[in-house]
Amino acid sequence: MFRKTIGVLLLVMATTDGAALTRYSAAYNGFAGTALGTHVIDDDGRVVIDNTTDTVAIVPDSAAITANHYRYTARMSNSHNRAGRSYRYYSADGRRHNRSRTAAGIAVNIAPGDTTLVMLDIHDTAPFDDITGRREAVVTVTRGGNNLATWTLTEWLDMGDGLNSVAAEVIGDRLTVMVGGRQLHVVGSVNVSRSAPTVGTGVAIGSAACVSLERTVLFTTDDKNTNIDTALNATALEEHFARSNDAVEGFYDYLDRDMNEKRARLGGRYTIALVRDGDGYDIIYVGGAIVNPQEWYTGRLKGRLSLTPFNANYDLLWYDATGTEAPAESFGSLDGSSILSLHFPLLDTTMRFHRRQ
């Protein structure tokens, strides 16, 4: 059955391209490729890490990243963030201390003597004042103890001790931070130069934090696909469709999906345009990106439908939210001229769009 859900296709399957990889680690597969498998798994099937030291604990992924472009995501909860509570930790001399605010997140660009942290701290602004106090989240980016960016949020996240995702998209020296309870939202970007050609990633647990980790996802790409600009903005597309006699051409809005969530993810609501080109159609991005919205603009090529010998069926070239080609054997189909279905058999996934009238 199709489910109506916000959606942008993100691939989380390993690709055959030599420079690209995806590592999807969770409790059910023992967090393969990470040091997390050495930690206790709770009744919910999550890894629990209680950091009682006075420094940030980093549990690394074993992957060595040489790609210029990668994204790392961790979905976790921090139970040590309750209003009016403090949590123990010990300094190097063995003395016990207490801390009322704790943070957890991810480490990226890990190199010898150099690590960048993206940390999430959820707390109450006035723990003992029910009238003026409120829950808020602070997202920080630090490098070597130096603060590079800070954002304060009051939405998008589970402000209790529920699960939240923290993600970083690294493209060259640009780091984009995304967080969310149900879906990722871009918080902001910061310039972070890379100190080594090969870097790593990991989960970061702040002092006195207690993290329950559901999964991590590491995706890298060699960016072989360039950003193709069709030079068709919204006005040009509308004018083209007003003159067109092709019943397939037009704007298509996201409708629903049938998705294997172990193999693909949704992260936005796409509007696309189909424009005739030879014996097929260019798929042009119009709007709706949530993951990597800074990279998508109206007129950027999203893919192509190429004619096959079968009526209303097309070979599909599709660029996911990172600009990477979807796996081979993908295809598109049209139900009349109103419903466009994009099929990704190797991901056990289908997305549907409806033609705007």
What domains, with CATH codes, occur in the chain? Answer: 18-221 (2.60.120.200), 234-355 (2.40.128.520)
Question: Which amino acid type is present at position 66?
Answer: T
Residue 279 DSSP one-character state: T
Give me the phi and psi of 160, to 5 degrees please: -95, -135
pLDDT at 203 over 80: yes
Mean pLDDT over residues 147-176, rounded? 92
By the 8 A CB rule, do 327 and 15 touch? yes
Give me the phi and psi of 236, to 5 degrees please: -65, -40
Three-class DSSP category at 303: strand
287 to 191, 303, 305, 326: CA distances (angstroms): 26, 14, 19, 19
By the 8 A CB rule, do 77 and 164 touch? yes
pLDDT at 288 over 80: yes
6-10, 102-106, 120-124, 261-265: lowest mean pLDDT where?
6-10
pLDDT at 130 (0 to 100): 62
Write down how long the chain is. 357
Mean pLDDT over residues 163-171, rounded? 92
- In sequence order, the β-bridge partners of residue 341 are 333, 352
Closest Cα partner for 58 from 101, 100, 119?
A: 119
Predicted confidence band at 45 (pLDDT cuts at 50, 70, 90)?
A: confident
**Measured between alpha carbons, how far is 137 from 78 in angstroms, rounded to an integer?**
12
